[in-house]
Structure 1
């Protein structure tokens, strides 16, 4: 790096996590604001590299991006591909259906076409629901928007994503929340295994932001109804 922190993510509207970029460069939302604080503490200029969901880790491997900062749950499969920082968020997972759909539990969903992002913790959860037909998403930079429109149009009967973005949609007239699974997925920043120094730098700054309360302040700004899950007394 030469004074720039390049972060890979999709360009999608998934508030309050992140909003669709208005200019292809700048972003708003919880993740972008925390990333901006980290870049500022490191003395680096933040640059977003927009790409498809299934290309984000590859962008880190090829050097097109320095890290993935885009709703990545820390899973064993991903840890084989990249190293993760300490968590900057912890979320549960929610199943969204169309308004009026009676499904309120996994056993209500036999035969349902259930969408989720390919190779995600959400898809892993979908595959535990007996009798569903899994539908993978992820080939575009607006995968979350793709899932919303597919549910609205009837292409799928439900989709799964983290509660931070799906519960908000459940309040809209077109959708209902079926149920939430208390999975407690830990989200981290994914970096190439060949770049341990940057991971250590981001970990150090996240520790500072958690300890001095700035991460809590950003969390409460964007997600005031969700309890802050990170204990400042814990050293990442």
Structure 2
């Protein structure tokens, strides 16, 4: 794999986050758990590479971390969108995910129609912002300047600063488990998630695509999915 032009020879350096968002990703006592960490290990194993993670907390810092060659690829909740494809290249999808609207448990909001005149939060630069902006009559409140925008939004919903917020469906069960928030409704967006690489990383993208195809063909990726999302059908 010497032709992959990795920033560290023999090592695949993946950009992720240590912000807890189970079952997608989380770090407990230095050990990574979740769908994306399991996928990263499987990919590195198939490619015969060591694996290293670089943590990023602000969403806006992911692409600079990649383009400045502090990692080889981003494996962290990156939906494949035309705007992002102008800046980075993506692998084949490793999953498809819907989005959800979260409210306080005692909120009267149950549908998009209930968001008229309401403040709806979302993280800057994500597909969630686009969904929030699509709700007729809603006022979009952007988060992203802090290191933990996800939990800032959750706290804002609990204390009433905002009425609702949008995030990826797959990370929302952990919020409901607090007993303070609930999922008002799910938007069936089915966003494809891919691994982002630099525009000059054709060889790496080709190898990652081959590895993803292999993991799909032999059932490994479906197994990883079912271990982390036992109630959701494997979408690939």
- Could you state the TM-score of these two structures normalised by the residue count of structure 1? 0.92
Q: Show the counterpart of 1:5.
A: 12
Which stretches of structure 1, 4 residues or longer, exceed 4 Å deviation after superposition?
none
CA deviations over 1:38-64 (Å, ceiling 9, x no partner): 011111121111122111011111111
What is the DSSP-based 3-state SS (H/G/I as helix, E as strand, rest coil) of the residue aligned with 1:5? strand
- 1:114 Cα shift? 1.2
The question of whether the paired residues in 2 share the 8 Å contact of 1:114 and 1:133 is answered with yes
Q: What do residues 155-199 of structure 1 show as CA deviations (whole Å, max 9, x unaligned)?
A: 222111111112453354211211111111000000001011000
Q: Does the CA contact (< 8 Å) of 1:11 and 1:142 recur in 2?
A: no
Select which of 144, 148, 151 maps to 1:145.
151
Give SS of 2:32's match: coil
Runs of at least 5 residues in structure 2 that lack an aligned partner in the other structure: 1-5
Q: Which runs of 5+ in 1 are unaligned?
A: 231-236
Contact in 2 for aligned 1:7/1:47 (Cα 8 Å): yes
Alignment RMSD = 1.4
The one-character-per-residue Cα deviations of 1:16-72 (angstroms, maximum 9, x if unpaired) are 00113533xx41111111111101111112111112211101111111111111000
Equivalent pairs counted in the alignment come to: 228
Choose which of 101, 104, 115 in structure 2 pairs with 1:95. 101
Q: Which residue of 1 aligns with 2:199?
A: 193
Within the candidate set 44, 50, 54, 2:49 is matched to 44
Q: After the TM superposition, which residues 74-223 of structure 1 pair with which residues of structure 2 at under 5 Å, given as runs?
A: 74-223=80-229
Whole-Å separation in 2 of the counterparts to 1:146 and 1:10 = 16
1:66 maps to which of 63, 72, 95: 72
Task: For residue 146 of structure 1, report the CA deviation from its aligned partner.
Answer: 2.4
1:227 is displaced (CA, Å) by 0.8
Question: TM-score scaled by structure 2?
Answer: 0.92
1:125 Cα offset (Å): 0.3
Maintained 8 Å contact 1:114/1:158: yes
Where does residue 3 of structure 2 map in the other structure? none
2:59–2:125 contact (8 Å) kept in structure 1: no
8 Å Cα contact 1:56-1:68 kept in structure 2 = yes
Contact 1:14 1:20 in 2 (8 A): no
Task: Name the SS for the 1:145 alignment partner.
Answer: helix
